Structure 1
Amino acid sequence: MSIHTEINKCLREIGRVATDGYFIGLHIRFAAPIMQFQTYPEAWTDHYTRQAYALRDPTIAWGFSEEGACRWSEFTLPDPFNILGEARRFGLNYGVTVSCGPVTSRTIASFTLRDREFRDDEIDLISQQIRRLHDLAQPPEGLTKAQIEALRCIAAGDRHAAAAAKLGITQSAFKARLLSARERLMARTTAEAIQRAKEYRLL
C-alpha cells in the first residue's frame, strides 16, 4: 500500500469522528507544515486567514507547548483575540487539539463538532490516527545523487529532453528518477518535490 493510500485511509477514519471539520499540520518546520489537510467551513478558513489568526491561535500555541490531546474547553492558555469565541460564530462550537513529535518537527491538529464535546474514546482514536500520519509523513533522510541531479535540472528550467541529454540518460530513465524523487518526498508533482527538497535542505 502506498503512503498516499495510507494517509487517505487515516483521513477517512478521522473524518468519521470529526464530522464538522479539522485542520492537520504535519511536521511543522520553520513555521509551516510539510503537509496539511483541512475540512473546516470555507467561511471560517477565509476569516481566519484574513485576520492572520495563525500567529495568535491558542490551539497552535498549546500544540507547541504540550504533547497529547486537550479539549478546547479545558485550555488554560490565554486567548486575548477571542479566536475560539470567533470560531463558535462559524459553528466550530466544540473542539480538541492533538500534538505530537519533537518541537522542531511538530504535528498539530485540531478537530471540531457542532453539537457536543468529543468523547474520550473518540479523542483516543483521533490521537492514534494523528500519530500514524506523523510517522507516515516523516521526511526522508536524504535523496540519491541521481534524484538530486534530476530535480536540480528541472529547478534550473530544463525540459525533460534537455535534462536527459545533459545527464547522458534516456528520457524514460530521467522520468523514472523524477518519479522516485517524488515518491520519496511524498510529493504529487515535481514542483512540489523540488519545494520539499529545498525545505528539507536536501537540494
Structure 2
Amino acid sequence: MRVVYNMRSDIRGVLLRSLDQLSECGYSIGVGFDGVEPVFVHSTYSQRWIDRYVDQGYLLIDPTIQFGLSSTGQATWKELERLFPSSRVFFEDAARFGLHRGNTLAISADGRVSVLSCSGPVWSKEDLRIARSALHALHALEYEPSNPVTLTEPVKDVLRLMCGGCKDQEIADRLGVKLETVRARRRTALQALEAKTSAQLISQVIKFKLI
C-alpha cells in the first residue's frame, strides 16, 4: 500500500508541476465538485490572497467556479468578467493581490466537474493542451466515483479468496462448494462490474472497496 501511495503522490506532483509552468502568479484547482465542494483542492496563490478569499466568502461567488458549474471549456478572466457582470468587484479585488489576468478551464467527467484557474497571459494551443491533459489526469487520480453495485455474500466470499491469490479449485474446496458454483459466482461479479478479465475484476473490487 505504501508503494501505491507513493506512486500516486509522485504522479500528482508531476501533474501539479506542469501547471506551475503555465502560471504567472499561481493557480488553483478543484477536482470533483459536488455543488461548490470539491473532493480535492490545491492552490499556489499567495497566502494573503487565500486569506482574503476565505474571509470574503468568495467561494460562493467566484466566477471561475460559477463558469465550471454551468459549462465546460476554457475562458479568459476577461471573458468571465463579461459573462458574469457581478464578478467585477471580485476581479478588482484579485488584481490588488497581483492577479490581473488568467485563464479558467472546466471539464466534466464521471458526473462531476473539475476546474482549473491559472493566472497569466492567454494560453496558447500548447498551453491549453497541457492544462487539459493535467486536469483530466488529476480528475482521474483524485476523484473515485462511487459504484452502486451490490454483491451477495457468497459472491464476495469467492472474490476475497480470488484477491488472496486462490485458484478456482482451491476456492471451491475452502468454501465447500462445487467448482461450477465458484465459476458461476465469478461470472456474476464480472457482469455486475462490467469487467472482462479476472485481473480487471480484482482491480474493480479493490478500487470500490466491495469486500
Bin of the TM-score, shorter chain as denominator length: 0.5 to 0.7
Name the residue aligned to 1:90. 97
Residue 137 of structure 2 is aligned to residue 109 of structure 1: no
Q: Deviations over 1:110-134 (max 9, x none)?
A: 0102xx3333321221111111111
2: CA distance, partners of 1:44 / 1:29: 24
Do the aligned partners of 2:28 and 2:42 also contact (CA within 8 Å) in 1? yes
Task: Please state whether the residue corresponding to 1:32 is helix, strand or coil.
Answer: coil
2: CA distance, partners of 1:117 / 1:93: 12
What fraction of aligned residue pairs are identical, expressed as a percent? 26
Residue 44 of structure 2 is aligned to residue 39 of structure 1: yes
Shift of 1:25: 0.6
Compared CA separation, residues 28 and 36, structure 1 to 2 (3 A): same
1: CA distance, partners of 2:145 / 2:52: 35
Name the residue aligned to 1:137. 142
Letter in 2 for 1:71: T
2: CA distance, partners of 1:57 / 1:31: 10
Name the residue aligned to 1:57. 62
Shift of 1:77: 2.0
Letter in 2 for 1:77: L
Q: In angstroms, what is the RMSD of aligned CA positions?
A: 2.8
Task: Please state whether the residue corresponding to 2:86 is helix, strand or coil.
Answer: coil
2: CA distance, partners of 1:130 / 1:62: 16
Q: Which has the larger radius of gyration?
A: 2
Letter in 1 for 2:115: I
Determine which of 40, 55, 69 is the counterpart of 2:74: 69
1: CA distance, partners of 2:49 / 2:13: 24
Shift of 1:73: 1.4
Compared CA separation, residues 46 and 79, structure 1 to 2 (3 A): farther
Name the residue aligned to 1:80. 86
Letter in 1 for 2:31: L
Do the aligned partners of 1:94 and 1:118 also contact (CA within 8 Å) in 2? no
Shift of 1:94: 1.0
Task: Please state whether the residue corresponding to 2:105 is helix, strand or coil.
Answer: strand
2: CA distance, partners of 1:141 / 1:32: 16
Shift of 1:108: 1.1
What is the TM-score with the length of structure 2 in the denominator?
0.62
1:1-203 superposed matches below 5 A: 2-75=7-80, 76-81=82-87, 82-102=89-109, 104-113=111-120, 116-139=121-144, 141=146
**Structure 1 unpaired stretches of 5+:** 146-182, 186-196
2: CA distance, partners of 1:89 / 1:130: 28
What is the TM-score with the length of structure 1 in the denominator?
0.64
How many residue pairs match? The answer is 148
Letter in 1 for 2:16: L
1: CA distance, partners of 2:72 / 2:137: 15
Do the aligned partners of 1:64 and 1:103 also contact (CA within 8 Å) in 2? no
Do the aligned partners of 2:36 and 2:59 also contact (CA within 8 Å) in 1? no
**Structure 2 unpaired stretches of 5+:** 148-152, 154-205
Name the residue aligned to 1:158. none
Shift of 1:140: 5.2
